[in-house]
Amino acid sequence: MPLKTVFTAAARDDVLEAQDWYAERSAALGRRFRRALDRAVFGIAQNPLAFPIVWRGRVRRALVLDRFPYALYFTVDDDQVTLIACFHASRDPRGWRERA
């Protein structure tokens, strides 16, 4: 059974900023990014422990595939997944680490 998935306000802002950036280039590209993101979130909810731990023994990372250089950073608790960031691969990781 999939876990409940919750986005922090900062993670939601990250997603909207990225989606808007792609949509400004092309509406189709914005939709494609959103579908790739939705697939990544679905995979996290289905099996969150399948993703590698990348920070402080508890923050995990899932890549947003389909050629989008983004990763979702999240934590797993007993009954939910909390997404803390959606970060472009070229950004300084200290930005999302401050949220963890």
CA atoms of 73 and 60, how far apart (whole Å): 6
Sheet of 59-64: strands edge to edge? 4-7, 80-88, 70-76, 59-64, 53-55
Q: Which domains does the chain have, with CATH numbers?
A: 4-90 (3.30.2310.20)
65-82 pLDDT, tens digit each: 999 999 999 999 999 999
1-60 pLDDT, tens digit each: 899 999 999 999 999 999 999 999 999 999 999 999 999 999 999 999 999 999 999 999
pTM of the predicted model over 0.75: yes
Tokens of 47: 């099996």
